[in-house]
């Protein structure tokens, strides 16, 4: 049974099929419902069709990490940092860099 929120998002998508916010919301909703296949589908659609929608990269990277695909997560974080830098979004860049450092094993504390 689909959630009410998912049904609403799908109806919004029917009227605005290229709206990046709706695509992002769908990916996030599918991810929260543990429908990994659909979450990946919508996150990848965003990366391909709306590459400057930088919020995508963090969540797609985290989904790859959840699936134990760290190499793919690292690649996505790197691509996201590039897009955030191009867009001039320092906040997104910082979040992506933190996620990248952790996934790549670069997050350490000095003793």
CA 17, CA 23: separation in Å to the nearest integer?
8
Q: Tell me the per-residue pLDDT of 70-103, one tens digit each, with 9 for 90 and over.
A: 999 999 999 999 999 999 999 999 999 999 999 9
What topology does CATH give the domain 51-111?
1.25.40
Domain boundaries, the chain: 1-50, 51-111
Overall pTM > 0.85:
yes
Q: At 58, list the tokens.
A: 């963090």
Give the long-range contacts of residues 93-100, CB within 8 A, separation 24 or more.
95/58, 96/54, 96/57, 96/58, 96/61, 99/58, 99/61, 99/62, 99/73, 100/61, 100/74
Q: Tell me the per-residue pLDDT of 22-54, one tens digit each, with 9 for 90 and over.
A: 999 999 999 999 999 999 999 999 999 999 999
Residues 6+ apart with CB under 8 A from 6: 26, 29, 30, 33
């Amino acid at each position: 049974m689909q959630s009410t929120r998912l049904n609403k998002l799908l109806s919004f998508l029917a009227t605005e099929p290229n709206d990046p916010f709706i695509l992002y919301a769908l990916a996030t909703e599918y991810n929260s419902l543990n429908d990994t296949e659909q979450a990946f589908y919508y996150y990848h659609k965003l990366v391909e069709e709306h590459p400057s929608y930088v919020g995508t990269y963090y969540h797609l990277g985290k989904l790859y990490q959840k699936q134990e695909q760290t190499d793919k997560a690292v690649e996505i974080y790197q691509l996201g940092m590039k897009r955030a830098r191009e867009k001039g979004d320092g906040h997104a860049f910082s979040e992506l860099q933190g996620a990248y450092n952790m996934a790549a094993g670069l997050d350490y504390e000095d003793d």
